[in-house]
Amino acid sequence: MIGLLLLYGGVALLGPALSRRLGARVLFLCLVPHIATLAYLVSAWPRVAGGRSIAESHEWVPALSLGVDLRLDAFGLLMAGIISGIGVAVFFYARWYFAGRSDLGLFAGVITVFAGSMVGVVMADNLLLLYVFWELTSVTSYLLIGIDHQKGAARAAALKALLITGMGGLVMLGGFVLVGRAAGTFSLSGILATPPSGATTTVGIGLVLVGAFTKSAQVPFHSWLPGAMAAPTPVSAYLHSATMVKAGVYLIARLAPVFATVVWFWRPVVLAAGVATMLVGGYRALRETDLKLLLAYGTVSQLGLMVVLVGAGYPDLTFAGAALILAHSLFKAVLFMVVGIVDHAAHTRDLRRLHGLGRRMPLVFAVSVVAVASMVGLPAALGFLAKEAAYEALLHSGNPVVTAAVVVGSALTFAYGARFLWGAFADKPVRKEDDVALEVAAPSPAIVLPSVVLSILTLVLGVAPALGGKLVTSAATAVGRTTELPKLVLWHGFTPALGLSGLAIAVGVALFLRRGSVDRLQSRLALPAGLTTPYEHALSLLNRVADRSTGVMQNGSLPIYVGVILLTVVLLPTWRLATDGRLPSRIEFADSPVQALVALVVVAAAIGCARARRRFVAVLLLGAVGFAVAVLFIMQGAPDLALTQLLVETLALVIFVLVLRHLPEQFPRRSSRLATGLRLGVAGGVGVFVTAFAIIAAGSRTHPSAGDGLVERALPDGGGRNVVNVILTDFRAFDTVGEITVLTVAALGIIGLLLARADGGEGEEPGK
């Protein structure tokens, strides 16, 4: 399994490199991992059928209990099959959709990374690993929505999708950590086998649900999905209908059988979100005039239905949900591809401007009819089997309110399905002012081929339920841990379920026929558009806060920065010194009067240096400080130090003079009295603090100095009598290596700074 993931990664790296030579054909290369995945799934099928699973595990970061633990069961196989199977169709379609473009390297690489991450999501058995793949899909989705990065709208839509799904992902990570802590393991299968319970788990699961809702565009987080339609159509067909948006459904399905009973709010929250999403999506789909947006809201609605079905945690509903996942992937991918074909042919997706396309491209019309039939649940299409299974299960174990809501949702689905076909293909009465798209180019057969194949698959699976039934049954068994499941059946007889189907279709037909009144109702009752307004509010608030806090924190004045740092140094440790500090036992004023005198010279010269208005005076006083400090070193018993200090001071003085001979004699006098006062205050605080620190630190020694041991070891181990030098060249020689490296870098820096000018580069000649 890990080999497949690595193959996706490898192809993703290779694709961009070859894209310039191959052009759009680079997408054929990207088919390779999909085909390999399909082949692997076929070979693995006997081992996972009937609820068994294959596991493999590789170490990654053991300290974080983060391992590459992969597990494939029938539900994962169903999902991975959709990802790779639809992937083959969409990539093939994209090769013709993008025909003639040679800048597909980024697209090919990113969408392959996405596909691999998606496979990783459905195969991951470690919550943290699942999170990694989950976020990879969010990031790649961001890049793919914004692939036309010259367009501001595409960038804004991409950012919105990233913020909503990324925030949700972060919240979900928090949930994963809580659940993993409560369970004592991050293994998904382990958690499901022995589920934790208690407050931590409840909160954790709530957070995980937020993540799943954002990813699967559930109300109130659904607004990013219509925005994501800014992406090229192959991306919409693949990510935003077939695969990525199903990740949340997948996770809910995995957790529902166990946590629907453990967590008290699971069923109310999940069902309410699902129902609301289904109805809001269906309602909005009836209003859109852009075919792609119509489909996007249709997807939102269908995702709501899927959440309702898999979220309740009942085996028969899960079964219907699995069937719907499969059916939806097949028909929605076709519909998106059709929109892309129509857009290419007529250069518009506005159903008010499309006229008579059905006559001009009959094949495209035919596949659309099959797909819509599956979507609305007409017999002979796979969607019918899924709908029937759903009604059966709802009548058997569902809540009547939810059942009624699903009927309403299905009626809306029928209505917008009919509206899609009518809008895209029908001959419509044309008003004069409408500029109808009349110049329609015939689509190439190759671009239609994938949608034909998928439509045939929809019909075959719809007519022969046994073919897909086994897969769906095994998937539901793997999720629900039960074998008592219904079967996909073509004809149940005249059951209540069929009655509900008929009712939904009848209402749907009525809604479509009275579309004029529906439009008027819609325009009067505009639903709040999800989180759009709060989202924009939050975004602009964030920007304002960022601007203002940056303005305060980073105001561009070096003295203020330094002042803040110094004040922090003074204030933070002070209370520790005051509470825990101890005075040393032996305090003397001075070793000798001379020492006191020299110390006085140091302080006086330092103050003089700070006060000096003339540069040379300041430098000379700095030198005086240095020489006086050297005298203090000698008195302390440190001849090496004193010698070094004297020499350094001499050389530093020379360098100061060399530089200052070019600068004006006096410092500029500009500070206000207030500024000087503040500086004096901060500087005084620093001085008092450091004095107190020096005294208290001397009293806080709890261990003898390491230096004592060094003195004893100097001659036997280091072979030298001068302990300081032995430390520098032997015991702590590594420090010295670091130090001379710093000196070398400083010297090279000096050379670089001043020789650049000698080259006559950007510098001017010094003033005369």
Partner 1 sequence: MIVVLALAVGGLYAAGAFLLLQRSLTRIILGIALLGHGANLLLLLAGGASGRAPIVDGSDQAVSDPLPQALALTAIVITFGLTAFLLALAYRSWLLRHDDEVEDDVEDRRIARLGRGKS
Partner 2 sequence: MKLSRSLILDMSAGPVFHVALLFSAFLLFRGHNAPGGGFIGGLVAGAALVLRYVAGGADEVHRTVRVAPELMLGLGLALAVLTGVAPWLVGDQFLESAKLSVDLPLLGTVKTTTALPFDIGVYFVVVGLVLAVLRTIGGEE
Residues 636-695 that bind partner 2 (CB under 8 A): 639-640, 643-644, 647-648, 650-651, 654-655, 658-659, 661-662
Distance of closest approach, residue 1 Cβ to partner 2, in angstroms: 43
**What is the contact mask toward partner 1 in residues 615 to 654, using x (rule: CB under 8 A)?**
x--xx--x--xx--x--xx-xxxxxxx--xx--x--xx--
Q: Where are the alpha helices (DSSP H) in 377-427?
A: 382-397, 400-425
Residue of 194, 435, 687, 717 that binds partner 1 (CB under 8 A)? 687
Q: Whole-angstrom Cα distance, residue 271 to residue 458? A: 28
Q: What does 755 bind: partner 1, partner 2, none (CB cut-off 5 to 8 Å by kind)? A: partner 2
Q: Is the peptide bond before 220 cis (omega within 30 degrees of 0)?
A: yes
- Of the pair 509, 698, the CB lying nearest partner 1 is at 698
- Which are the contacts of 428, defined by CB distance < 8 A and separation ≥ 6? 355, 356, 422
For the window 573-612, what string marks contact with partner 1 as x by the rule CB under 8 A?
-----------x-xxxxxx---xx--xx-xx--xx-xx--
- d(C-alpha 765, C-alpha 768), whole Å: 9
End-to-end Cα distance, the chain: 75
Q: Judged by CB, which is closer to partner 2: 699, or 749? A: 749
- Residues 446, 562, 675, 755: which binds partner 2 (CB under 8 A)? 755
Q: Could you tell me if 492 and 498 are in contact, meaning their C-beta atoms sit under 8 angstroms apart? A: yes
Binder of residue 733, out of partner 2, partner 1, none (CB less than 5 to 8 A by kind): partner 2
DSSP string for residues in 102-131: ---HHHHHHHHHHHHHHHHHHHB-BHHHHH
Smallest gap from Cβ 739 to partner 1, in A, equals 5
Q: Which does 666 bind (CB under 5 to 8 A by kind): partner 1, partner 2, none?
A: none
H/E run at residue 348: none
Contact 692, 577 (CB under 8 A): yes
Tokens 């097949």, residue? 330
What residue type is assigned to position 476 of the chain? Answer: A
In whole angstroms, give the CA distance from residue 633 to residue 649.
14
- 141 neighbors 117 (Cβ within 8 angstroms): no
Q: Which of 562, 571, 578, 737 binds partner 1 (CB under 8 A)?
A: 562
Name the one range near partner 2 by CB under 8 A: 50-58, 202-210, 309-317, 750-758: 750-758
Helix axes 199-215, 127-145, angle to 10 degrees: 20
With CA atoms as reference, report the closest residue to 137 among 213, 215, 82: 215
Question: Given candidates 192, 440, 509, 695, which one binds partner 1 under the rule CB under 8 A?
Answer: 695
Query: How many amino acids of this chain bind partner 1 (CB under 8 A)?
Result: 114
Q: Binding to partner 1 (CB under 8 A): which residues in 705-744?
A: 705-708, 710-711, 714-715, 721-724, 727-728, 732, 735-736, 739, 742-743
Q: How far apart, in Å, are the Cα atoms of 622 and each of 276, 646, 660, 687?
A: 76, 12, 14, 18
Q: Where are the alpha helices (DSSP H) in 49-151?
A: 74-97, 105-123, 127-145
Residue pair 201/262 in contact by the 8 Å Cβ criterion = yes
Min CB(675)–partner 1 separation in Å = 9
Contact by Cβ (8 Å): 413, 298 = yes
Q: Which among partner 2, partner 1, none contacts residue 548 (Cβ within 5 to 8 A by kind)?
A: partner 1
- CA dihedral in degrees (627, 628, 629, 631; nearest 10)? 90
Residue 116 contacts residue 12 (beta carbons within 8 Å): yes
Q: Which is nearer to partner 2, 435 or 735 (CB)?
A: 735
The item of partner 2, partner 1, none sharing an interface with residue 734, based on CB under 5 to 8 Å by kind, is: partner 2
Interface with partner 2, residue 522, by CB under 8 A: no
Which of 192, 243, 217 has its CA nearest to residue 73?
192
Pick 363 or 634: Cβ nearer partner 2: 634
Residue from 666, 683, 725, 763 touching partner 2 (CB under 8 A): that is 725
* Binder of residue 483, out of partner 2, partner 1, none (CB less than 5 to 8 A by kind): none
Q: Please identify which residue in 7, 371, 504, 726 interacts with partner 2, judged by CB under 8 A.
A: 726
Stretch that binds partner 1, among 69-77, 225-233, 425-433, 692-700 (CB under 8 A): 692-700
Number of residues near partner 2 (by CB under 8 A): 43
The residue behind tokens 């809201």 is 297
Kindly list the residues in this chain that would bind partner 2 in the complex (CB under 8 A): 639-640, 643-644, 647-648, 650-651, 654-655, 658-659, 661-662, 718-722, 724-726, 728-730, 733-734, 736-737, 740-741, 743-744, 746-748, 750-751, 753-755, 758, 766
